Amino acid sequence: MLVSVTLNPCVDHALFVEKFAVGDTNRVMRVEKDAGGKGVNVSRVYAELGGDTAATGFLGGPTAGTIRHVLELEGVEDAFIKIAGETRTNFSIEDNSGTPPTTLNSKGPDILPTEWEKLLVDCKELARGARWAALGGSLPPGVPDDAFKILGELFHEAGVRVILDADGFAQKHGMLASPDFIKPNAAEASRLLGVPIESDLEAVEAVLNLHQRIGGGTKIAVISRGSSGAVMATDGGVWVGRSPKIPTTSTIGSGDSMIAGILWGIDTGKPPEVALRWGLAAGAATAMTDGSGIARLPMIEDLYDEAIVEAKLV
């Protein structure tokens, strides 16, 4: 089973306008509302692919009901704990200009010390039936700066492999727990490593560096590169993947979907290059979906054959 931990989940509101104008009145043509947050997205796509998954973290207030309802509909076990604060709401503004959405992300509710301690207790229980734990996203006020290090070590002590997808100080602290699978995007990896990542060669060198930083061996390092695809390093080699050529609608949740696709491939016994193709297909399928919607299985299957993966000699 996959356990995802989303400390700062959200309800995403996608607002669609004809042409967004800053400083002017914009008429909203339609609004789409969906559950969001990195771990939530990973669990949803993993379940869509047929995997067994539970999602935990903090939920509170009226917005929590939206997330719980989505998890129930999509076959994700709801293991979130109830908090006194209210789960945040994020907004994205999309128009027909072809430019990326404008996003407005709230900081999230204040988490009480007792709520943090309750989460740790619950995670120890969830770890008993888990093979993987996905840690990702931002940290809400009130949780320790090294929350992902604490959680990573907790799951490792139970023999659970840890996935990390975070940025900034949350990522740096999480790296100290030696995650088994890390997937920053190119910008995040560039900040972490202090090197530019634009060409294939730079991406390959960076993913090898990341693989060594988390301990090498059977661990997995992936750098997602948007429409350019992704690179992956394991003990079996390095692969460069090309995403299917698609009309991108929204990139929200695309990287999370890639994690779910790769993980599903690994868990079903696929070789690394095939697992990466599933990840590329899942990420592309989500990128074709409006707002914060996630990939659906028929679309993922259709795009799988269009994803290209090549081994690189290093």
- Kindly state the DSSP code that residue 257 receives in the 8-state scheme: H
Helix 147-157 × helix 168-175 angle, to 10° = 30
What is the H or E stretch that residue 108 is in? none
- Strand, coil or helix: what is 268? coil
Exposure of 93 in the CB half-sphere (CA atoms within 13 A):
11
Question: Does 122 qualify as catalytic in the annotation?
Answer: no
Among the listed residues 256, 290, 302, 305, the single catalytic one is 256
| Alpha carbons 213 and 164: distance in angstroms, whole number | 13
Phi, psi torsion values for 291, nearest 5 degrees: 55, -135
For residues 232 and 239, the answer to whether their CB atoms sit within 8 Å is: yes
Any idea which residues carry the catalytic annotation? 256
